[in-house]
Chains A and B, each alone.
Chain A
């Protein structure tokens, strides 16, 4: 499926219809998003379990859980 079609289909799931010009503008931004996804994947810390299998080495940040680790001076 072409990128444009993917975008249109995904937005339709949310009931959002954009015009052709708006969709055109989303295409390079969507391609950037795909690049960022691969950047994020490469950043993930993981523990190797057996060949080809890992477990996550970190958890998602919790929205309301900032820590005082490091402490105030």
Chain B
């Protein structure tokens, strides 16, 4: 209408509506008195015109009409109608749900489980896969990477390294001098900041501990745009010259744990790998550094301290070595500069810097620079968790679908019972839309009930999944926050499910023909056509359950296959811990002496049967290898001569329970000054000495021909090395006392004592030698293996859990549909029995019906499972995606469950008394 803007009118309507809803009772009173006034005034006028009072009152009432109708229309004028109808719908829905508490509990409960699982998994997936760094404008942050062929100039590097399918390799680490040169003229970038995260030993408030340290360039904080919550950041003046700026900024977590959030922390001193640093600032609470979004390093220190903190390599400090690639680099593109232009400029800079500074031999290639998205740091979590998380999200989605199908099925069965109610409603003039709305209100209320339960469940379980994914001995775990995105996601899930399972029953109800249903009454002698949709839903449930059960079976078999692997050594009663002597304090030679002293003291502790240090602990995803050149064999460029190596103590073989097959193990006569010896395993003997006895043979572990020859003195049995997924590799062992340097080692103890009771003893023993040396990562060998199987175990546990849930839902579904079918066919069954059918035949008839249904569902489910499990092939071990045993077992489980679920309805059908059944009508 003209004269009033559309917006003005809508605004007025909204204000009027809100007022009417808020002061509802007043509005009602006003309507009454207004109509009353009208009636009185009219009556008075009619009396004045000469009518008798009675006649006047009657005529006035006739003239005005039914005030009830007027009031209803007045309410409609105020937009109150749908509020009233919604209220009525809701009240009715609550009454209906309360009338069948069993149905409500099953429906809301199964929905709560499914939504809870979805919420929990989604909240974890969000952190692992989608959360951004806690810095201003994280999406503007770029991470520098390079991509090159197999002859790339970065021969010597420390950091992430990926071999791509096409033979190229990509990495995000750079040599410091190259970075430095580029950062002076960062082309189209605002600035370039470098950082490296590493583990170090720190003494904080008198206690030695292992910490994660981020060494950062002076412009790091400025580039990220982060300011400490108290104190100051690492600033450019801190890394102006090498060794300058003995300062550290600590993480919020360290601040609360060690300093109780006291501002006095500023100015206190921390010893870090023997360097004394002053705390100058505390990072904001959710800041995790630029590397990842999950955990923050404990300390941020200027990179100029690097020479003080880390092992000095042959070519001097890593800050001057142009051939050692190790630094991560981030930056932001200048505003207004297109990213491609900035990248072009940087590429020129990078190539020039590499050519000018690094040693580029002939044949070496210079990699191509790339600007990657830095909003989530290095994205390592993506690579590790993407697949498992998507599998889990898919599984929970399946479970949710299953729960929906289940409720839809229950509602459909109930809808049949309520058909008369719907017919009566429609006969009385309710529109189809109104009936659909009523039923959708009911399902949405049910969904909301389940959703609230699910939200609570998800909230309390959100940390259950991360605890499945972190190892037993680390207290650092990722924090899963429960924020509005999770809440919004759950709400969407609730609404979708409510509509999803409510729509089919509502659709059927609305299609009801008023007359037919009223006439038809409840008499049916044969199976009804509408049973088909319910059966299809149960079939779908069976199919989805089959997929989940087969999936669970595959992951369980993978876990069992990995766990029951004979790894070649005794993994029970084996305790491990790490000692990492800082290189600044324990230079070459001194570290060997330290380990010798530690080995002696720890080996003589009461309750410890054997103890040995080893450079590499087995089955912990770490490995090292070295050249293995039998005497007379020359090193040839390009020929693979490296073999897996472990540098160990004298007691290594007895400690781990590795059998010696021939010759001898190491003993106390093998010292730094005695002739060099080695033990090889059977696999290496077969591989490198086929047909000859290797004992007494000599070899070198270095390409340098002047290196000492080492004599093989023994052959031991094969053991697994770094992962359960690969069989025993060829290996050789050297005594650490005959090495020039060993740095950190893992101690392995054969003992019946628990890790908890060992902690104080070990700590006092180690600190009796060096007060600043922490005992770290104390764990058992089993825990170590379990840690490498976290994802497998989490998948197996969750798929099994979901599988059981799915079975329970399918069980309810089958029971529901069969019980309904029996109830519907009571009449038919009665006639059959009256005509001479045996109860056993009736039972068989019902069982046969459910068996066909189950078989059809299983057939579809197996097809689906075969299609889906192929996607997770790489996550399986020792079992094929189409493993017949698993599939047959899955089918057997489902058949059993289906039979069990049908048993009660079938028995009930067989027990029908013909007379009762016929009289029943």
Is B a genuine binding partner of A? no
